[in-house]
Amino acid sequence: MTHQFKFDVIIIGSGAAGLSAALHLPGSLKIAVLAKTPGEQHSSYWAQGGISAVLEPDDSVDQHAQDTIEAGAGLCDEAVVRFCATAGRENIEWLAQLGMPFSRDRQEISDSGFHLTREGGHSRRRVVHAADATGKALQQTLQAHVLERDNIRIFNQHVAIDLIHRRKKCVGLYALNRHDQHVDLFRAHKIVLATGGAAKVYLYTSNPDGSTGDGIAMAWRAGCRVANMEFIQFHPTCLYHPDAKSFLITEAIRGEGGRLLLPDGHRFMKDFDSRAELAPRDIVARAIDHEMKRLGIDCVFLDISHKSRAFIKSHFPTIYQRCRDFDIDITRQPIPVVPAAHYTCGGVMVDINGHTNLENLYAVGEVAYSGLHGANRMASNSLLECLVFSQAAARKIAEEIDTSRKLPVLERWDESQVTDSDEDIVVAHNWDELRRFMWDYVGIVRTNKRLERALHRTELLKSEINEYYGNYKVSADLLELRNLVVVAELIIRSALARKESRGLHFTLDYPETRDAFRVPTILDPDQHQKSPAKLATI
């Protein structure tokens, strides 16, 4: 049976961004959090490294900003970068007050009291962490406090389908209730997208299964602009093992002296960048990709075994145990690793408060393009962005919301003209085809020919999927596939528009960086038919 619900604020997504936004909103507001998957299936849950923040006297907001801008290859919004770097300390202190179990400095040499690590792109130790399972600790801390709040209701197993908008105002959404397979109607004064990224559009990814670009696709269909979708970050080091299912090996291992090696033991990163293993992720990922293709090898190796056994087990307990599960003792032998799609640097365009160009609609976390990351995200700036923009959006919503305003009456979901599908194999086949050609044609190294092939296949798939969507009852797999094909097209069209190589976008046809393209790639739904991809300054 279809249900109708009314709330002051609806947050779509229950990862770090969604839960922190819920906690920052006033307790007087009636809030719904739509959770597509359990907490452990969010990307933020699996974040190992930590949260970057300026906490020590030898560091500064200026230095953090400079490092971020350098990693972003000239496309960061400097005002946004400084905004986030400045807000780092406040958010770490907020989490500490919530009881977040950060790793502490046992030697008492840090002024902050936190144990700080250094990761790729950072010039200082400024990454606050909870051993090597920061995301898990963050998710569990936030979730515990959300469950204590009487004004917050969590709707588990609800997959958002589409936003409902009237005259450029977002007023609600439809969501599939996976418990009974009916579509529920939600109305609200304000809606927050916190749905994460879209790395599942690639065959190999470090992300959980739910990273299917739902919020980006829904916002695009509703009329929101998106930006910088060509910049997909491939994490350089995911565990290479047939049973590992893309287990991430944290960048902190390289920060603590881990060395990348070829099968013959050659330390190859020095051949590509003077910073060696501490170069930004795009450089490291391309170097690994180059060596794998040059030598025809399946993986490279990450070695931390020169550190003491006690150091490794205390700093990286999760990775140590996970590798032991696959008969790899990282205290004695190197870890086989490969790059995998990891982070979506582009997304739904937002302002400094997380507001989109659609009234009443906000986007926070990986789903959003805020201007922080530019052409490449610096390590551990993602959780920082989640926290800072969730706080900013919550403050703006609290200032502007008028709960006395009457919400419009909306139509319930109509499925009277559709039937149950007896062709689920079509969805499964399209899933596989999409992710394979995105990996082959729109991966770490690109060409115009590959991109055009991918675009042609995307258009064919989109036609098939839309026909299927119109004739059969919706399922979670169909909805995610429908969103992924939209995201795939946005990535491809953005990549075709950028006729240069910059940051995470590397094309053999235009290997040099060009000043004319030192602007974000902005796609506008209103102009999509006239000009599929337009470059413009924000």
Tell me which residues are annotated as active site. Answer: 281
Q: Is 361 exposed, middle or buried (0-12, 13-18, 19+ CB in 10 A)?
A: buried
Read off the tokens for 46.
């699996």
Q: What is the chain's length?
A: 538
Give one word for 372, left, alpha or beta, with left for phi > 0 and alpha for psi -120 to 50.
Answer: alpha
How, if at all, do strands 31-35 and 152-156 pair?
A: parallel
Q: Positive or negative, the Cα torsion across 56, 59, 65, 67? A: negative
Give one word for 426, left, alpha or beta, with left for phi > 0 and alpha for psi -120 to 50.
Answer: alpha
Long-range CB contacts (< 8 A, 24+ apart) of 260-265?
Answer: 260/236, 260/284, 260/287, 260/288, 260/300, 260/301, 260/302, 260/303, 260/337, 261/300, 261/301, 261/302, 261/303, 261/334, 262/291, 262/295, 262/297, 262/300, 262/301, 263/295, 263/297, 263/300, 263/301
Alpha-carbon gap, residue 305 to 316, rounded angstroms: 12
Planar angle of CA 35, 342, 230, nearest 5 degrees: 105
Give 144's DSSP letter: H
Alpha-carbon gap, residue 202 to 443, rounded angstroms: 8
Residues pairing with 158 in the sheet: 177
Please name the residue that has the structure tokens 């007087």: 28
Pick from 283, 374, 516, 506: nearest CA to 73: 374
